[in-house]
Amino acid sequence: MTDSEALWKKTLSSLSANGVELKTLKDGLWFLASARGNRIIIGNAAANTPSCTLDRLRQVLKTEFIFVHSFYDRWLDGETGISEKIREKSKNSTYILAMIKHFSD
């Protein structure tokens, strides 16, 4: 099992169906992450403000999480162009990066 797969499993098992509210790293907006089967559901925060303003729930699958995680260290180091590269393939990168930081600490 790779580090990315282990972190996915830890993240998924740490999120209940009720979810956990986390804060995005760049903008400091709160969101709700919950587990449903083998996927993570992202929605607006209810208990914390300011909340993100999603029109509908978003789904994060293992493949997307692992893709974003593969760039995490380079993103943390501020490597030029990495944020854009991640966002090209993941509409949920902001939320995934926050989950990676939270559950890998």
> The domain containing residue 43 runs over which residues?
3-104
Q: How far apart are CA 25 and CA 30, in angstroms?
A: 10
Domains identified in the chain, total number: 1
86-91, Cβ contacts within 8 angstroms, sequence gap of 24 or more? 89/64, 90/64, 91/58
C-alpha count within 13 angstroms, C-beta hemisphere, residue 37: 4
Q: What is the pLDDT of residues 6-29, one digit of tens each?
A: 999 999 999 987 899 999 999 999
Q: What is the pLDDT of residues 50-105, one digit of tens each?
A: 999 999 999 999 999 999 999 999 999 999 999 999 999 999 999 999 999 999 97
> What tokens does 67 get?
């893709």
